Structure 1
Amino acid sequence: MTTHHPGQPEASPDVEREIAIEQAHVDRVYAELEKASGRARDVEADGMARGRTDRTGDVRDEELTGLFERDALVFAAARRRAMIDTQYEGLVFGRLDLGSEDSTAAEREVRHIGRLGVRDDDYEPLVVDWRAPAAAAFYRATPVDPMGVVRRRVLRCRGAQVVGVEDDLMVPEAPGDIVVVGDGALMAALTRSRGRQMRDIVATIQRHQDEAIRAPSRGVTEITGGPGTGKTVVALHRAAYLLYAERRRFEHGGILVIGPSSAYTAYIERVLPSLGEESVALRALGDVVDGMTAVRLDSPEVAAVKGSLRIRRVLGRLASRAPVGAPTTFRAFVAGHAVRLDEEALRRVRSEVLRTHQHNLGAAAARAALAEAAWRTVRQGERSDFLGAFEDSRAVDEFVAAWWRPLDPREVLLTLTDTEHAYRVGRGVLSQGDAAALAASYREAVATGEWSVADVPLVDDLLARLGAVPEVTREEQGFYDIEELDDLQSYGVQDVRVGLGRAPRTDTRAVLAPGDARARLMAGRIERAAAYAHVLVDEAQDLSPMQWRMVARRGRTASWTVVGDAAQASWPDLAEAGRAREEAFAGLERRMFHMDTNYRNAREIFDHARDVILPLVPDADIPDAVRETGVRPVDRVVTEGLVDEARGAVETLLGEVDGSIAVITPQRWAQRAAVLDGAGEGRVQVIDPLSTKGLEWDATVVLDPDAITEESPGGVRVLYVVLTRAAHRMHVLRPA
């Protein structure tokens, strides 16, 4: 057997015996799981056999019932089998010995804790699900309040093999028949190497963390604390707990987890599945709107314009204007009368309709209002005859199709590529410099074919104003050349003729011609915000006001878990963001949990970061780092060859740590530092400062901290984040 904790070269006979005892139980659990998996396969096969019919005609009601039963059985059985067939590392991770200080082995209850509940053939529990009330003492027992626990044991497993145990004694003196192994599970876990994905902490949750995890679901649960305090992983365990405790509500309504970046979501994606839950939507801020993905970051100046609530006035003006290329006058011969409406008359009709209808849902109302405006210019003959002729007019069909065509919010936003147009819609809201920068950012979007993360909430805001673009039905397509429509829709273009009668083909092609560079930005269909039962927001201090509004649309009836630390904020105007955040919560009940122990950083590393942030953010939430390595960070000035020095630092660190290493670089050094990405057989990652949010590595090499501060929207707060990503070693390199 392997050692039970780092630094002990060989396990003692007592330790070997304790590991063997736990291995026997784990073997029994896996054997029972294999039987359960077989039963699930049998149920799945039985489900497939139900509802079969040899009929080739209509299916009768009883046959439909059979098909429904089959699908339900197959789905439930397949899901159960997938859960029990996925043997995650450490399926059984804990044990409680319950009794009193003077109890005998026969009098004590043994309770094993794991990622899911397992029972034997007699329905006796072999493993208690970590979220069950019976498992709460595993996390909440302390020597001050042992909750009936004599010994708490953490099992360290590799697959189905027990490779070590760590014990915590909850009574002053161990009963004579109890062996206590190791120096404590938490400190053992803290010394383990980091990888490319976040580990769950289900085996080492502390009492104050467990209280946040098991807090009531209603209202808003806020989890605050400085770097390395475990806020993120506590919040993710809370999501798993809520699904367990109130499965019907949260599985049906869904849980949305929002993080700052795609690097973050890749890092945490294994935590919830490893805890037995897959009913969670995990999104980066650039992925919140269905059908849209963005990873590119705007400059801090442009991001500040797009993220502030003042941009809503600009979006409102964009949404109220006629589509680009729409006719400015209406002329037609209706019921024997020549009708003409000028630009001002059309503007009044549009304004009237938009007071009560979203643009994409207001086509019928627009046509009716246009007919009334036309009648007011004629007032001869019977009104009903005139309105009937207006409704049947092909000329009206063609005009309305161009004048009130469906609008994709992305198309509307891209009109801002024109600087003069940006000046006009931004007048009184944006300075000319801000408007010009906004226009330049959308020209960059067209050139790169990539939206920025700050664009996503703007598209979402416009979608809420305009309404979803109507889908073209097969019946409507029948009027036209299907091959042409399919060709256009492959570019993400919605047909302008929906529900408006036949329109000239040129009207559609005017929206977006095949081959237009903007087609890359218009690909696919974006959808209206889905409402979730629970919304979890991590790194909440980074959300702009517009991002808070976007998230709020998905949490209209939700409860919330919100995680953050103001000292790590990358959004500069915390007051404005705070107001948008309060509006999102809409007076919901609040509860607060504060994490004050830094489990991630060695004390030497965190002291270095603390000394950077406190002079500039004196009210920063400074946690207590509990672990020391005896090795101070390397912080030195490099006179020449910064990247060469970084390469040397990486080589040194590869020999000092076993796990992952990050080279964190500002934009000005990114291209040259990219050669280090993937070094050390993939252990080294080159990453930008903002993408480090929520991540951690065994060691980091930080390039040019002054440039990080200058380039980042949050200034020194972002540098503080960067300096608290390393668990064991850190090198800081400053150009002369």
Structure 2
Amino acid sequence: MRDLTSEREYAERCREALRRMVAGARENVAVGEHTWGDRYTAERLGFYLKTLARDMGEEGHNPPFFGVIAYGDADSDAGAGAGAGEHSRQTYYLGRRHISDAIGRPPMVIDWRAPVSAAFYQASAIEPRGIETRRRFGWSGQLLTSFEDEHLLTGSPSGGSDLVRREIERARVGPMRDIVATIQPEQDTLVRTDLDVSVCVQGAPGTGKTAVGLHRAAYLLYAYRSRLTRNGVLVLGPNRAFLHYISAVLPTLGEVDVEQTTIEQLLDREVRATDSSEAAEVKHDVRMAEVLRKAVYARIGRPERAVVVSDESYKWRVNQHEFAEMVVEAEADATTYLTGRERVIARIVAALQRQAEARGQNCNGVWLRRMARAVMADVEAVWPNLKADEVLADVLSDPGPAADGILSAAERQAISWSRPRKAKSARWTAADAVLLDEASALLERSPAYGHVIVDEAQDLSPMQCRAIARRSEHNSITVLGDLAQGTTAWAATDWPAQLAHLGQPSAEIVALSTGFRVPAVVVELANRLLTALGVGVPATTSFRSDGELTIRQVDDLPAGCVENVQRALSAEGSIGVIAADHQVAALADGLKAAGIEVVPADGDGRVAVVPASLAKGLEYDHVIAVEPADIVASEPRGLNRLYVVLTRAVSRLDVLHTRPLPTELLG
């Protein structure tokens, strides 16, 4: 193994090789722009080459490698290299990206997603996997400052890596970083799960469940790129602030063609009205799927006459009973409403074609299209064309016919419009957007992705789950969440039911309970709330023994907040002031008046003032949680919201209050 000076020299050689790779990629872009081939092929090649050149060019900001594994000698009499196999006496450097100095030569650095890299994360003194030495590197910017070796074949248990601990505890400002250098064995197993396997991660605060999901996206695109190129990967987050926070992770892992959005943006409907809480709960209930299905298929009638089509001197005919049989068969077989309608048209035209051909008629494409137009009125009378907004407008104008026997009278009243409206004059709500998506899916198939990763899944309603399930091309989903952090009115209280709504009832549920980002003193405070939350999740344990907790009663919250922020600014790292939504403006004004620059939850800056409703998924080195009693009182699941707020702190937590603390927090 190299000494520190030699490792620095090797790092510089890797950087030089990467620079040559970038130059070569850019040259290939110029060549690719003038390549022979059809227009589509040339366009796809050009896009690929430009993306590769861009990604490789951006890679220069990261250290070229973060670790190295050296295998033992498999032929050793002592058997020290047992398990090395084909890797006997081989040494592999691991990084975020593959680096090579020449075609045909062994790579200088191997991509962290390659199969051989799994041993770096999984090997231990108990199961060394043939690895003699595992080395981790410490970096300060681009400067290699240190390394740390573990000698696994000696069988001596390790006390844990100081470099891993320091990296986990390192202060941070700005978006979330990747965790390729610190992935734990249980996290790596989840990341490398096969594409065809859906998995649910119940992750306590700070356990890295979001990082696992993002790294899984990068891994799947590496291991199954040919399968995922056409449909891609979708990452769903709870809000825009969360998406901003995670936005930098996948690009640093070499993946930029991943769609990251929220469920609201995915549904893509203009929201111009607000539901009452009662109406929203009914609309998000899974029974609404049956209401809409009933409303759609109730439009299908039975033919009252035969289909007769004039064709010059001939008349072609489909008898009433034949027409009726076609409708019944199409209704039974069709996957969507409009597919069934097209099948009826096709079957009628085929029957006419058989009659015409028996008379010697030339039934070319023009003739077939003319016949399809000619029978359209007959089909429309029995199987009318529908639009999703028209279906929903009819249901909300008068829920009775479709909801009878499914919803109670009170529930029908809750979702009913005060007066009937047409779709064009409707003002849709956020819950209506979910119903419109369901209705659209009943009419025709929705676009889908090769893999879907959904974070904070415990907050999804059954109807939102159905919308997500429809967008999984291969029924391949990674579900991330924490039942203890459920804050919506329809939040899940157990995973099996939620997974059933997502179309994955048999998905494996894996619990991560070791918090790597939240210190023990904060975890112990937050754990006091678990009993009152009424969800069966294991208490969080912390990997970290550092951290600070201060609980202080003050007379003036804005003034106390300013004082705490000024004190926090003397230390390194990001600061998040989190309070009940209605208090945010006053706290931000107080900080600005004191000359402190503040940013919103989705902004870039040292001090962020964050509404409690947007805190989920975010983290700050120093959190100032303001007036817990107000946070609890602001919503029905206020204790869950407080649990979220407290666990955003990754180093220090200050709790400021004027009112008495919630009794649950006192233990």
TM range (shorter): 0.7 to 0.9
Aligned to 1:256: 234
- Give 1:89 shift: 3.7
Of residues 280, 304, 314, the one that matches 2:258 is: 280
Q: Secondary structure at the match of 1:706?
A: helix
Is the 2:330–2:343 contact (alpha carbons within 8 Å) kept by the matching residues of 1?
no
Is the 2:437–2:467 contact (alpha carbons within 8 Å) kept by the matching residues of 1?
yes
Counting only pairs closer than 5 Å after superposition, residues 399-548 of structure 1 correspond to structure 2 as 408-410=387-389, 412-413=391-392, 421=398, 430=407, 434=411, 438=415, 453-467=430-444, 529-548=446-465
Aligned to 1:118: 99
- Greater mean alpha carbon deviation, residues 619-628 or residues 236-245: 619-628
Aligned identity (percent) is: 32
Is the 2:4–2:147 contact (alpha carbons within 8 Å) kept by the matching residues of 1?
no
Distance in 1 separating the partners of 2:383 and 2:574: 56
Is the 1:251–1:279 contact (alpha carbons within 8 Å) kept by the matching residues of 2?
no
- Give 1:35 shift: 1.8
Of residues 576, 579, 590, the one that matches 1:662 is: 576
1:207 lines up with 2:189 in the alignment: no
- Give 1:610 shift: 0.6
Aligned to 1:646: 561
- When residues 275 and 49 of structure 1 are mapped into structure 2, their CA distance, relative to the original with a 3 A threshold, is same
Counting only pairs closer than 5 Å after superposition, residues 591-670 of structure 1 correspond to structure 2 as 591-617=508-534, 619-629=536-546, 631-636=548-553, 638-639=554-555, 641-656=556-571, 658-670=572-584
Counting only pairs closer than 5 Å after superposition, residues 189-208 of structure 1 correspond to structure 2 as 189-208=167-186
- Give 1:205 shift: 0.9
Is the 1:120–1:126 contact (alpha carbons within 8 Å) kept by the matching residues of 2?
yes
Counting only pairs closer than 5 Å after superposition, residues 143-158 of structure 1 correspond to structure 2 as 143-147=125-129, 148-158=131-141
- When residues 649 and 314 of structure 1 are mapped into structure 2, their CA distance, relative to the original with a 3 A threshold, is farther
Is the 2:485–2:644 contact (alpha carbons within 8 Å) kept by the matching residues of 1?
yes
Is the 1:703–1:733 contact (alpha carbons within 8 Å) kept by the matching residues of 2?
yes
Distance in 1 separating the partners of 2:122 and 2:516: 18
User: Paired residues, what number?
Assistant: 589
Is the 1:146–1:170 contact (alpha carbons within 8 Å) kept by the matching residues of 2?
no
- When residues 399 and 283 of structure 1 are mapped into structure 2, their CA distance, relative to the original with a 3 A threshold, is same
Is the 1:604–1:633 contact (alpha carbons within 8 Å) kept by the matching residues of 2?
no
- When residues 586 and 567 of structure 1 are mapped into structure 2, their CA distance, relative to the original with a 3 A threshold, is closer
1:646-705 deviations in Å (ceiling 9; x for gaps):
33333332234x222222232333443453598357322233334222221112222333
Is the 1:155–1:166 contact (alpha carbons within 8 Å) kept by the matching residues of 2?
yes
Distance in 1 separating the partners of 2:578 and 2:384: 48
Is the 2:291–2:403 contact (alpha carbons within 8 Å) kept by the matching residues of 1?
yes
- When residues 66 and 690 of structure 1 are mapped into structure 2, their CA distance, relative to the original with a 3 A threshold, is same
Is the 2:580–2:613 contact (alpha carbons within 8 Å) kept by the matching residues of 1?
no
Q: Secondary structure at the match of 1:35?
A: helix
Is the 1:662–1:685 contact (alpha carbons within 8 Å) kept by the matching residues of 2?
yes
| TM-score using structure 1 length | 0.68
- Give 1:597 shift: 1.2
Distance in 2 separating the partners of 1:124 and 1:40: 19
1:224 lines up with 2:206 in the alignment: no
In structure 1, the gaps of 5 or more residues are 1-16, 52-64, 175-179, 323-334, 336-347, 369-390, 468-527
Over aligned residue pairs, what C-alpha RMSD do you find?
A: 4.7
Is the 1:305–1:311 contact (alpha carbons within 8 Å) kept by the matching residues of 2?
yes
1:158-209 deviations in Å (ceiling 9; x for gaps):
2xx22533424234989xxxxx9x9622211122223331111001111221
- When residues 267 and 142 of structure 1 are mapped into structure 2, their CA distance, relative to the original with a 3 A threshold, is same
Of residues 563, 569, 582, the one that matches 2:500 is: 582
Q: Secondary structure at the match of 1:118?
A: coil
Aligned to 1:81: 53
Aligned to 1:471: none
- When residues 626 and 296 of structure 1 are mapped into structure 2, their CA distance, relative to the original with a 3 A threshold, is farther
Distance in 1 separating the partners of 2:494 and 2:298: 28
Aligned to 1:723: 646
Is the 2:493–2:535 contact (alpha carbons within 8 Å) kept by the matching residues of 1?
no
Distance in 2 separating the partners of 1:422 and 1:208: 49
Is the 1:261–1:691 contact (alpha carbons within 8 Å) kept by the matching residues of 2?
yes
Counting only pairs closer than 5 Å after superposition, residues 328-339 of structure 1 correspond to structure 2 as none
AA at the equivalent of 2:16? A
- When residues 415 and 718 of structure 1 are mapped into structure 2, their CA distance, relative to the original with a 3 A threshold, is farther
- When residues 34 and 607 of structure 1 are mapped into structure 2, their CA distance, relative to the original with a 3 A threshold, is same
Distance in 2 separating the partners of 1:629 and 1:600: 11
Aligned to 1:32: 17
Aligned to 1:129: 111
In structure 2, the gaps of 5 or more residues are 81-87, 300-309, 311-323, 347-369, 600-604, 660-667
Is the 2:396–2:417 contact (alpha carbons within 8 Å) kept by the matching residues of 1?
yes
- Give 1:576 shift: 8.8
AA at the equivalent of 1:608? L
Distance in 1 separating the partners of 2:114 and 2:505: 31
Aligned to 1:732: 655
- Give 1:577 shift: 7.6
1:581-607 deviations in Å (ceiling 9; x for gaps):
22543565x444332311111111111
- Greater mean alpha carbon deviation, residues 94-103 or residues 229-238: 94-103
- When residues 26 and 674 of structure 1 are mapped into structure 2, their CA distance, relative to the original with a 3 A threshold, is same
Of residues 472, 475, 500, the one that matches 1:555 is: 472
Of residues 624, 627, 634, the one that matches 1:704 is: 627
1:310-360 deviations in Å (ceiling 9; x for gaps):
2334434654688xxxxxxxxxxxx9xxxxxxxxxxxx9xx9999578666
Aligned to 1:510: none
- When residues 403 and 563 of structure 1 are mapped into structure 2, their CA distance, relative to the original with a 3 A threshold, is same
- Give 1:83 shift: 2.3
Aligned to 1:94: 66
Distance in 1 separating the partners of 2:4 and 2:504: 52
Distance in 2 separating the partners of 1:442 and 1:109: 76
Is the 1:608–1:633 contact (alpha carbons within 8 Å) kept by the matching residues of 2?
no
1:435-474 deviations in Å (ceiling 9; x for gaps):
565468999xx9xx9965544321211112244xxxxxxx
Q: Secondary structure at the match of 2:529?
A: helix
1:391-428 deviations in Å (ceiling 9; x for gaps):
99x9x99999999986543465456776xx46786666
Distance in 1 separating the partners of 2:563 and 2:408: 47
Q: Secondary structure at the match of 1:125?
A: coil
Q: Secondary structure at the match of 2:477?
A: strand
Distance in 2 separating the partners of 1:597 and 1:221: 18
Distance in 1 separating the partners of 2:519 and 2:419: 44
Is the 2:137–2:144 contact (alpha carbons within 8 Å) kept by the matching residues of 1?
no
- When residues 90 and 430 of structure 1 are mapped into structure 2, their CA distance, relative to the original with a 3 A threshold, is same
Is the 1:422–1:439 contact (alpha carbons within 8 Å) kept by the matching residues of 2?
yes
- When residues 632 and 254 of structure 1 are mapped into structure 2, their CA distance, relative to the original with a 3 A threshold, is same
Distance in 2 separating the partners of 1:442 and 1:207: 59
- When residues 66 and 617 of structure 1 are mapped into structure 2, their CA distance, relative to the original with a 3 A threshold, is closer
- When residues 237 and 354 of structure 1 are mapped into structure 2, their CA distance, relative to the original with a 3 A threshold, is same
Q: Secondary structure at the match of 1:655?
A: coil
Aligned to 2:122: 140
AA at the equivalent of 2:10? H
Aligned to 1:268: 246
- When residues 112 and 713 of structure 1 are mapped into structure 2, their CA distance, relative to the original with a 3 A threshold, is farther
- When residues 88 and 544 of structure 1 are mapped into structure 2, their CA distance, relative to the original with a 3 A threshold, is farther
AA at the equivalent of 2:623? T
